[in-house]
Structure 1
Amino acid sequence: MSAADLRTTALPSSTAPRPVRPRRLSTRLLRSELRLIGGRRRNQAGLLVLAAVPVVMAISVKLSTDSQQGGPTFLSSITSNGLFVPLAALSVEITAFLPLAMSMLAGDAIAGEANIGTLRYLLTVPVHRTRLLAVKYLSLCIGAFWGVCAVAIPGALVGLVLFGGGPLTTLSGSQVGFASGLWRVLLVMLYLSAALSALAAVGLFISTLTEQPIAAAIALMIFTIVSFILDQVPQLAWLHPWLVVDHFTAFGDLMRDPMAFDAVGRGLGLFAVYAVVFWLAAWARFSGKDITS
């Protein structure tokens, strides 16, 4: 036996190379962030407020419809099909309550952690700042979908109970089946979730600029309100296509027959631009930020 063979046989079995297992993608940080968002009492109260609007709206329409006072009915289109309740509620809340809810969530994302002193300890776990920022934004996107569901699901349930279902009359005047109408409502929910996610990216960037969550929330609401104001100025028509709020109401094209996707596609494209640009701006700010608290 050669010397090389002796060395080979003398090697302990523990030195044999072990197969490298691929590292699993952990969702622990995301689950922890979602529990934090869902566990806050103010967020739970906010969801209840969002859910109360379509319920109050549907009951008001039902009472005004059943009355014999001869006055103008409130949102009379709701009476034709209960699926119009979530659509009407979303069209109302997307201009105020839903952006306000997103402002509160985005303000807490980074500024809230810095304000209560947990951000510094979170980064010593260790958690890479890029990963932390990505998880924060993903949780905001999920929170946006939660907010839309809090409006649409109770609205659909109470609408179907009070006004029934059946064929749905589209904005084009034709009728589609109940399943098709339900599918269109789901598409509207996803579209508005994308719209709020674009707004969340702006809020995430603002949240990296301060350690006061209330200031970040107010700043995002000011941004939203100013955008709505600018969108109503005819002299600024050249700016309107670049305002994120200008595309909020494009979901109405999903209620046509056939569905029109031109405005919806432009809206989704702009939402993606806002998400990428402002997330990168937040990353550029947060990656070099001195965490002192």
Structure 2
Amino acid sequence: MSSTSTPPADRTEATEATGPAGSAGPREVADGYRAGRTLPVRVELIRQLKRRRTMMMGGILFALPFVLLVAFRIGGEPGGANNQVSLMDSATASGANFAAVNLFASAGFLLVVPVALFFGDTVASEAGWSSLRYLLAAPVPRARLLWSKLVVALLLSLAAIVLLPLVALAVGSVAYGWGPLELPTGGSLATGTAAERLAITVAYVFVSQLVTAALAFWLSTKTDAPLGAVGGAVGLTIIGNVLDEVTALGDWRDFLPAHWQYAWLDTVRPDLDWTRLIQGTSLSVTYALVLFALAFRNFSRKDVVS
């Protein structure tokens, strides 16, 4: 007597399954399983917000405007030497000036650290905790895992870069009053125009940090040591800044992201010139897209054992 067996109602046959080495083969998955619903961005974001390093970095960025405020209180009003006025010299003119000075003081290095940390700690930390293989066995598709972590790292980096000028603007407005943005070249910008220029500045600083972010993200897929990915990205960023100071390189410096990191200073001029801002943005986005693509390519082929 023959009988025909039927598969269980809660199982379906998956025709494509990619293993660590990229080989395809059949597997069974639970009914209702959707790869796109695994490791939601909301869940990953909550996980990262609860981590101590996120809280510490937020605390440092929050405290920086107060540190500068105390420094100006102790050191007195800044003033230009030889009748030359810089952006730093106008820090106490208004809250807008104080916010711009905070960005100027931190864009070169301080803001590099949280960006490198949030991106370099993505995959490498999971590997270091030996939890990466369990996430993939959940199963969370590799591309989905990497995409969720990328989005969260972008959100945290943007929040870090926005937090600093917002706190600085509030602290500066209380200490020095809400007023126009006094320009180092002379003249001033009305409060509404100043707010727009500060928004453009923050957006550009974020875009200019994408190269460091993508570099740290790519290194995070190459190593199981988070400090290696973070330190590597910060170190290469510093090397880029050093090379930009070598004037003998001539026009070759135009291909260095560091060469355009202070292009946002064009926003604190009477007439906004978009030329350098556009050049710096296009270079940063190009490098970032290449490095992000390399990260996804490397992780899709990586033999995960941690």
Instruction: Give the TM-score normalised by structure 1.
Output: 0.84
Residue of structure 2 in register with 1:256 after alignment: 269
Distance in 2 separating the partners of 1:112 and 1:269: 31
Q: How big is the shift at 1:33?
A: 2.0
Q: How big is the shift at 1:28?
A: 5.8
Q: How big is the shift at 1:192?
A: 0.9
Residue of structure 1 in register with 2:28 after alignment: none
Choose 109-118 or 87-96, whichever is displaced more: 87-96
Residue of structure 2 in register with 1:90 after alignment: 103
The answer on 1:150 being equivalent to 2:163 is yes
SS in 2 for 1:281: helix
Residue of structure 1 in register with 2:70 after alignment: 59
Distance in 1 separating the partners of 2:242 and 2:144: 36
Which whole-Å deviations, capped at 9, do the CAs of 1:130-164 have from their partners, x for residues lacking one? 22222222222212211112211111111000111
Matching of residues 162-241 of structure 1 within 5 Å:
162-241=175-254
Pick the structure with more helix per residue: 1
Change (3 A) 1:34 1:237: farther
Q: Does the aligned pair in 1 maintain the 2:120–2:216 contact within 8 Å?
A: yes
**Gaps spanning 5+ residues in structure 1: where?**
1-22
SS in 1 for 2:262: helix
Distance in 1 separating the partners of 2:89 and 2:188: 17
Percent identity (aligned) = 27
Q: Does the aligned pair in 2 maintain the 1:61–1:76 contact within 8 Å?
A: no
SS in 1 for 2:261: helix
Residue of structure 2 in register with 1:119 after alignment: 132
Q: Does the aligned pair in 2 maintain the 1:171–1:257 contact within 8 Å?
A: no
Match of 2:301 among 285, 288, 292: 288
Q: How big is the shift at 1:66?
A: 6.5
Distance in 2 separating the partners of 1:154 and 1:124: 42
Choose 200-209 or 75-84, whichever is displaced more: 75-84
Change (3 A) 1:66 1:222: closer
Residue of structure 1 in register with 2:45 after alignment: 34
SS in 1 for 2:160: helix
Instruction: Give the TM-score normalised by structure 2.
Output: 0.81
SS in 1 for 2:132: helix
Q: Does the aligned pair in 2 maintain the 1:62–1:162 contact within 8 Å?
A: no
Q: How big is the shift at 1:260?
A: 1.0
Match of 2:286 among 273, 277, 284: 273
**Gaps spanning 5+ residues in structure 2: where?**
1-33
Residue of structure 2 in register with 1:49 after alignment: 60
Number of residues of Structure 1 aligned to a counterpart in Structure 2: 267
Q: Does the aligned pair in 2 maintain the 1:102–1:200 contact within 8 Å?
A: yes
Q: How big is the shift at 1:217?
A: 1.1
Q: How big is the shift at 1:27?
A: 9.1
> Cα RMSD between the aligned structures?
2.4
Which whole-Å deviations, capped at 9, do the CAs of 1:95-149 have from their partners, x for residues lacking one? 2211112222222111111110121121223222222222222222212211112
Q: How big is the shift at 1:214?
A: 1.0
Q: Does the aligned pair in 1 maintain the 2:264–2:277 contact within 8 Å?
A: yes
The runs of at least 4 consecutive aligned structure 1 residues that moved more than 3 Å come to 25-28, 62-67, 72-75
Which whole-Å deviations, capped at 9, do the CAs of 1:75-104 have from their partners, x for residues lacking one? 330121111122111112122211112222
Change (3 A) 1:131 1:80: same
Residue of structure 2 in register with 1:245 after alignment: 258
